[in-house]
Chains A and B, each alone.
Chain A
Amino acid sequence: MIEIKDLHKSYQMGSNSLHVLKGINFSVKEGELVAIMGSSGSGKSTLLNILGMLDEADTGSYFLDEVPIKGLNETKAAQYRNKFLGFVFQSFNLINYKSALENVALPLYYQRKKRKERTEKAMEYLGKVSLAEWATHLPSELSGGQKQRVAIARALAADPKVLLADEPTGALDSKTSYEVMDIIQGINDEGKTILVVTHEEDIANMCKRIVHLKDGVIVEDKPVEQVRASQYV
């Protein structure tokens, strides 16, 4: 599903150049649930941004579902993001003046789906995260865990190939974190490929594989015995 070879990325900080990714080789097969771990500054967010086509690597190759991701213009990148990827962010990033349902329906709007179909699908995915009865509520009326579940429903609504979650539990208490991870595990059980960036050991252990990043290189890449989140819920 994801093929990365010798990926480099540096940022220009004034006169200094900051080399963030120093040759990443990494591949993910369909149906995997991968945790990307590392301390802050290790380059894990940069890697996720590149994977999410929100940023572009300086050198190296990136194939997503056998499509080369290189030198895309903005319009093309937007199309690919819409078709291939679903995002879940630490700070939820819901549009605050839209209801839960409208938020979930938004990616479908950019897929030019009909309004009726959008509403139906969005309702279906809200049901999947057990928020059907909160459909008309604004994000400000939801708890943190509920917001993140709306965000997950939104990421799933467009039926992407890969779900990218950047610290999805970073802003949540541990009980709510496990609830969110339970949902993520459930989606993965249905066959969706998911990448989770986290710095929390317990969250990483709920994935099936952990990739450790340090100073811009992968220092460890190992499969783990998955801890089911449902036992804590």
Chain B
Amino acid sequence: MFDRDRWQEIFEAIGKNKLRTFLSGFTVALGILIFTILLGLGNGLLNSFLNSFVDDAQNVIFIRAGRTSKAFKGFQENRKIQFENEDFEFINSNYFGKVEYATPRIYRNGLAKYKKESGNYSIRAVHPDHQYLEKTIMMKGRYLNEADLVERTKNIVIGRLIEKDLFKNENALGKNLDVDGIAYKIVGVFQDSGGDNEERILYMPYKTVQLLFGNNEDLDQINISYNMAMDTEQAIAFSKKIEEDFKKKFNVSPDDQSAIRVRSFVEDIKETMVILGGIYALIFVVGIGTLISGVIGIGNIMTFSIKERTKELGIRKALGASPKSIIAMVLQESVLITAVAGYLGLILGMLILKLIGNSLEEFFILNPKVDTGVIVVATITLILSGLLAGYIPARRAAKIKPIIALRDE
């Protein structure tokens, strides 16, 4: 295998039969190219689907309050349900071990001013856990923390686009921001993959908002994430349990759909994953099919090439080439061509995927890429398929009788 002379012999044969080498190499390169691009686009599709969930943690459960639609236990219908701090604490104390993160939300709007710039922005008053639930990524400074909550500080965290809107090229970190006449200190700037709107939000501690606006304990919504140790069925059951408990707590009819609304992604994700699995399997089957046709292609060309070289191989045998050395020569040539051409196809495919990048985002293809594991597997497959494609023609070549070969004009 590592005989230098034999390699020299093979390089010579390859170098002096460029068309043949090009044809067989081209088939393989094309096969691998298509395989890589297909797989990359498949991954892009997958990324695009996953991305619709990644804005928020995938194990999030939203608990919202509305108005009752049914009279129940002596209460009239159309009664407004209002969450308070006590309900948030109820979650922390009742579902211990099942809840990973939990935060309340209070929604407000505010006019923010800095120097001559101003703008109207959404405000979310939250618990520090909100960072993990929303997958907020800090660019500068820090997120809200426990101390902000306890001391009811006027610290805020602003989105990347607010900094851009109001501070232009200045660094917002540490600056004071005037929101509806109250000065807040910016302790952090964040980014979020959920789109522009998610990056034009102000976060402040929920207890500060409760103190400043009405001195109450009202909450608009509670978000939690369940423990990932739970499987899908358990997560669905847990979400139902929360709904039942809250309905009981607020004296709401169990079949009232609007008073307490508990929503989780878990069922959506389950469905999507099944569809994605299908798409992925399809892409894989098509890709493997392409690969196989590439391998058959090279087998074909090798067979043809053996036929073309019958005379040469006959001469070699007359000069003392053993069948083994003929097999080795043909196999090594086939493996070399497959491996090199396949690798070129792979690199080219990856390059094309890189060029495509996110330009196909509107077709639900996001960041198409193939990962290292696939590349390793593909490389091994290439070498194996080179062996496979070369073996049958090689054996046929070894069986050539020199006299028949020499008669072949």
Point out residues on A near B: beta carbons under 8 Å.
49, 52, 54-55, 74-75, 78-79, 81-83, 87, 89, 91, 93-98, 102, 106-107, 109-111, 115, 154, 158
Distance (Å) between the CB of A109 and the closest chain B CB? Answer: 6
Which of chain A's residues has its CB closest to B314's CB?
A93
Q: Is the CB of A78 within 8 A of B320?
A: yes
- The 23 listed contacts between A and B (C-beta, < 8 Å) are A54-B318, A54-B401, A54-B406, A74-B322, A74-B323, A75-B323, A81-B320, A82-B319, A82-B320, A87-B319, A89-B406, A91-B406, A93-B314, A95-B315, A97-B12, A106-B319, A110-B316, A110-B319, A110-B320, A110-B321, A110-B322, A115-B5, A158-B320
Distance (Å) between the CB of A79 and the closest chain B CB? Answer: 7
Given contacts A54-B403, A89-B406, A115-B5, contact A79 B312 (CB under 8 A): no
Distance (Å) between the CB of A72 and the closest chain B CB? Answer: 12
B255 within 8 A of A: no
Given contacts A93-B406, A95-B315, A97-B16, contact A107 B322 (CB under 8 A): no
Chain B residue contacts of A106, Cβ below 8 A: 316, 319
B13 within 8 A of A: yes
Chain A residue contacts of B12, Cβ below 8 A: 97-98, 102
Chain A residue contacts of B9, Cβ below 8 A: 109
Residue of B16, B317, B403 near A55 (CB, 8 A) is B403
Q: Is the CB of B320 within 8 A of A93?
A: no
Residue of A74, A91, A96, A107 near B319 (CB, 8 A) is A107
CA distance A106 to B327 in the complex (A): 17
Q: Is the CB of A81 within 8 A of B324?
A: no
Extra pairs beyond A78-B317, A91-B406 (9, CB < 8 Å): A49-B403, A54-B403, A55-B403, A75-B323, A81-B320, A93-B311, A93-B315, A96-B312, A110-B325
Distance (Å) between the CB of A101 and the closest chain B CB? Answer: 12
CA distance A96 to B315 in the complex (A): 11
B349 within 8 A of A: no
Distance (Å) between the CB of A159 and the closest chain B CB? Answer: 12
Q: Is the CB of A111 within 8 A of B311?
A: no
Chain B residue contacts of A55, Cβ below 8 A: 401, 403
CA distance A107 to B17 in the complex (A): 21
Residue of A75, A83, A89, A158 near B324 (CB, 8 A) is A75
Chain B residue contacts of A96, Cβ below 8 A: 312
Which of chain A's residues has its CB closest to B15's CB?
A97
Given contacts A95-B312, A95-B315, A98-B12, contact A107 B320 (CB under 8 A): yes
Q: Is the CB of B409 within 8 A of A91?
A: yes
Given contacts A95-B315, A97-B16, A98-B12, contact A111 B403 (CB under 8 A): no
Which of chain B's residues has its CB closest to A75's CB?
B322
Q: Is the CB of A78 within 8 A of B403?
A: no
Chain B residue contacts of A54, Cβ below 8 A: 318, 401-403, 406
Chain B residue contacts of A87, Cβ below 8 A: 318-319
Chain B residue contacts of A109, Cβ below 8 A: 5, 9
CA distance A136 to B52 in the complex (A): 67
Those 5 A-B pairs whose CB atoms lie nearest each other, nearest first: A82-B320, A97-B16, A110-B320, A54-B403, A78-B322
Chain B residue contacts of A82, Cβ below 8 A: 319-320
Instruction: Summarize B's interface: helix, strand, loop or mixed.
Output: helix
Which of chain A's residues has its CB closest to B311's CB?
A93
What is the interface size of chain B, counting residues whose CB is below 8 A from a CB of the partner?
27
Chain B residue contacts of A102, Cβ below 8 A: 12
CA distance A75 to B323 in the complex (A): 6
Chain A residue contacts of B320, Cβ below 8 A: 78-79, 81-83, 107, 110-111, 158
CA distance A10 to B108 in the complex (A): 105
Distance (Å) between the CB of B255 and the closest chain A CB? Answer: 86
CA distance A6 to B62 in the complex (A): 101
Which of chain B's residues has its CB closest to A89's CB?
B406
Chain B residue contacts of A111, Cβ below 8 A: 320
Chain A residue contacts of B322, Cβ below 8 A: 74-75, 78-79, 110
Which of chain B's residues has its CB closest to A76's CB?
B322
Q: Is the CB of B401 within 8 A of A78?
A: no
CA distance A111 to B5 in the complex (A): 12
CA distance A109 to B12 in the complex (A): 14
CA distance A107 to B315 in the complex (A): 10
Chain B residue contacts of A158, Cβ below 8 A: 319-320
CA distance A10 to B35 in the complex (A): 54
Most chain B C-beta atoms within 10 Å of own C-beta, residue among A54, A111, A115:
A54
CA distance A74 to B401 in the complex (A): 9
CA distance A96 to B16 in the complex (A): 10
Distance (Å) between the CB of A58 and the closest chain B CB? Answer: 16
Residue of B8, B17, B318 near A97 (CB, 8 A) is B17
Which of chain B's residues has its CB closest to A106's CB?
B319
CA distance A75 to B399 in the complex (A): 11
Distance (Å) between the CB of B323 and the closest chain A CB? Answer: 5
Chain A residue contacts of B319, Cβ below 8 A: 81-82, 87, 106-107, 110, 154, 158
Which of chain B's residues has its CB closest to A73's CB?
B323
CA distance A75 to B326 in the complex (A): 11
Which of chain B's residues has its CB closest to A102's CB?
B12
CA distance A197 to B403 in the complex (A): 15
Q: Is the CB of B316 within 8 A of A81?
A: no
Distance (Å) between the CB of A54 and the closest chain B CB? Answer: 4
Chain A residue contacts of B316, Cβ below 8 A: 95, 106, 110
Which of chain B's residues has its CB closest to A92's CB?
B315
CA distance A94 to B312 in the complex (A): 8
CA distance A182 to B13 in the complex (A): 34
Chain B residue contacts of A89, Cβ below 8 A: 406
CA distance A96 to B17 in the complex (A): 11
Which residues of B in the span 303-345 have a Cβ within 8 Å of any Cβ on A?
311-312, 314-325
CA distance A91 to B406 in the complex (A): 9
Q: Is the CB of B323 within 8 A of A97?
A: no
Distance (Å) between the CB of B268 and the closest chain A CB? Answer: 64
Q: Is the CB of B13 within 8 A of A97?
A: yes
